[in-house]
Amino acid sequence: MPAPLSRRRFTAGIRRRRPSPAPAGRPLLAKALVTAVLAAALTAQAVAALRPHVPLLLAATAVSLAAEGALYRWQPGMASLFAKAHADITVRHALRDLLLVVGLLRLGEQDRETQYAPLVAGLLAFYALHCAVQAVSVLVRRTRTLPVLTRNVDASALRLSPAPAVLLRRPGHRLLVFGLPATAGLAATAATDEPRWAAAGVGLSLVLALAGLGALLLRLLPGRRPAGEQEVLDWFDAWLADYRPTVGLYFSGGPSSAYQANMWLEPLARLEGRPVVVLRERSMVPRIAATDVPVVCLPKVSTLMRLERSTLQVLIHPSNSGKTSQVLRIPTIKHAFVNHGESDKLSSCNPYAKAYDEVWVAGPAARERYALAEVGVEDKDVVEIGRPQLDAVRPCAGPPAGAAGGRRTTVLYAPTWEGWDGDPGNTSVIAAGENLVRALLADPGVRLLYKPHPLTGSVDPRAGAADRRIRELIRAANRERSGPRPAPSADLARLTAELDRLTAAGFRPDADQVERMLAQSAPEPGRAEAVKRATAAWEEAYWASLPEGEHQIVTDARPALYSCFNVADLLVSDVSSVIGDFLASGKPYAVTNTGGLSEEAFRAAFPTVAAATVLTPDAAGVPALLESVRHPEKDELAEARAELKLRLLGPAEPSSQERFGAAVRALCGAALDHRARTARRPAAELPGQRREAPAGVGRGPRPTPFTPPRPSRPA
């Protein structure tokens, strides 16, 4: 078994390094092209209107409209940049129509001002209506912004309804659709010198704008809009009292961090009691994976504090965030930090962990890590529960046959991201990624699976650039392999459609939050189990459908990381939680040393490397590594992997799920004991808290003003 950590060795592994300067720059070609096309089209339209030149005017108008469509279809981020420059869609569309009117007035020699005055008035009325529609749409969106969002909860009492996407959520699309008849009519008049086309187009645009305004105004009627704020809060209190949750998952984070919460959904669903998922960001609600567990999103702190009067006893936390401190203020709930993965990095023994009642870790190595870090987490508050998620990882079924045996060796390269501290040893992508991939691709018996971390390149642009070069190397290698491609799998297409149906809950991609809440208010019974079965069938069909030996770049949500574990024969990674999870398979793994340490110091600093093959940035050890994987008699680390697995993940019996459930029950008991003790104590002994003891069920009494207790006499 690997020797225990010493304090010096531990701190050597977590020492921070100053970041190296990185070249800046982002690909701007697409954005510059859109800007140039729009500017050139409007300029040409202005020149054509002033000359006047009808063919150029029509061509420039058509190009300008096409560029607008491309802008909203492929470059939506540019729309906000134009708006910041006060050149939003309204200004651009008005300018386009104005230039058409100028062109009409310049055509011919007769006086056209009187003839086209009604058209100008109609255009002005249309843009006034557009402003009115936009103002009313803002009011409608506010009525559809509820203080609580839910999934898997019957919300039919809240008068929810589908949202008209074009009217509410897409003002740019709305103006393009409503204004297109007017623009087309003006262009037709410029081509034919017939004012009736312009009159018809402007009239149709006015009718569309009036119809849209009327439809939005109807949604402001009391019976047509969703429940108001207080009504929703009362409904939420009643739901808490009826459902009586006992244990919950609390999560706050950005869209790219959703995987941190999703990995705990199935272990949470398998617990005894009544689980619930508590979110803080509205954008996270649709990103939580399919589950039968009720999901509630409480964006405001005042709404979050309603949990204090609920039956909720324990919240588990897979990550730290600024909003975590808000829920930790609730004294009636016990909190446990479970993390979303464990590694030898400083983030796995963060001082923030001491804010929780308990810290739940996988095995003895994490307990020792906290003890040596001296971050304020006491040993009595550390509970070993294993990793319940790893039930999905299948154990090793034997060595790969290699090229000689007819089956290629599947290597999973799963590097982590660059991190916040600038340590060059965080990720291998920058210093070693391309060398590793070249060495692996050079072996004809290797099939490479490249799965980069979702945050790669988010801090250091060099990591993003290296990631793009690695992907191009893999694509080039695939072009050189001339293996036969199997026919498209009808079975895979069917399973994909079925899985999409189960996980999308039937709502439109452009549905707003209320519409999604309506669509997910009453899930099919057993949907989570159906999703699990469909996912397993999809993964089997997906891997079978791939061309023999073709390298893969895996960046989508499917297939998941653990599915890649199951088909891989070897993992190449960095010092990250991926290593500990992969150890559940018992298969060989390698770690890249890019931090400038000697191999001896590297192994001493990072205990998870104890059973790994250490690779240098030049990837010189890749051929020998592949040889040891293909020939088990040359694998000298098999026993070390089994011992390290025990240290990192704990014993196989009882199972991780059983240990997880036992930890939840114990902490729930502690929460109930705390409530009972608080209820027995006189109110005068509880300064700063409510006069009445926590009810523990549903909605409780309103808070009373704070009255400081009288000072007691000295003994």
Residue 397 is predicted with a pLDDT of: 73
Count of residues in the chain: 715
Residue 687 is predicted with a pLDDT of: 60
Pairing mode, strands 552-553 and 334-337: unpaired
> Residue 510: which residues within 8 A CB-CB, separation 6 or more?
165, 169, 170
Task: Kindly list the structural domains of the chain, giving each domain's residue range(s) and its CATH number in brackets, ordered by start.
Answer: 29-218 (no CATH), 244-386 (3.40.50.2000), 409-479+492-649 (3.40.50)
Least confident of 59-63, 172-176, 218-222, 371-375: 172-176
- pLDDT tens column, 17-53: 333 333 334 445 666 777 788 888 888 888 887 778 8
Residue 566 is predicted with a pLDDT of: 93
Phi, psi for residue 28 in degrees, rounded to 5: -115, 5
Quote the CA–CA distance of 570 and 637 in Å, as a whole number.
Answer: 13
Model confidence at 110: pLDDT above 70: no
Q: Are the beta carbons of 440 and 615 closer than 8 angstroms?
A: no
Nearest Cα to Cα of residue 306 among 698, 22, 653: 698
**Percent of the chain residues past pLDDT 90, beyond the cut:** 42
Least confident of 241-245, 486-490, 535-539: 486-490
Nearest Cα to Cα of residue 473 among 258, 619, 259: 619
Least confident of 36-40, 326-330, 598-602: 36-40
Model confidence at 16: pLDDT above 50: no
User: In 3-state terms, what secondary structure has residue 382?
Assistant: strand
User: In 3-state terms, what secondary structure has residue 572?
Assistant: strand
Quote the CA–CA distance of 44 and 64 in Å, as a whole number.
Answer: 10
Residue position matching structure tokens 């799965």: 451
- pLDDT tens column, 417-443: 888 777 777 899 999 999 999 999 999
User: In 3-state terms, what secondary structure has residue 297?
Assistant: strand
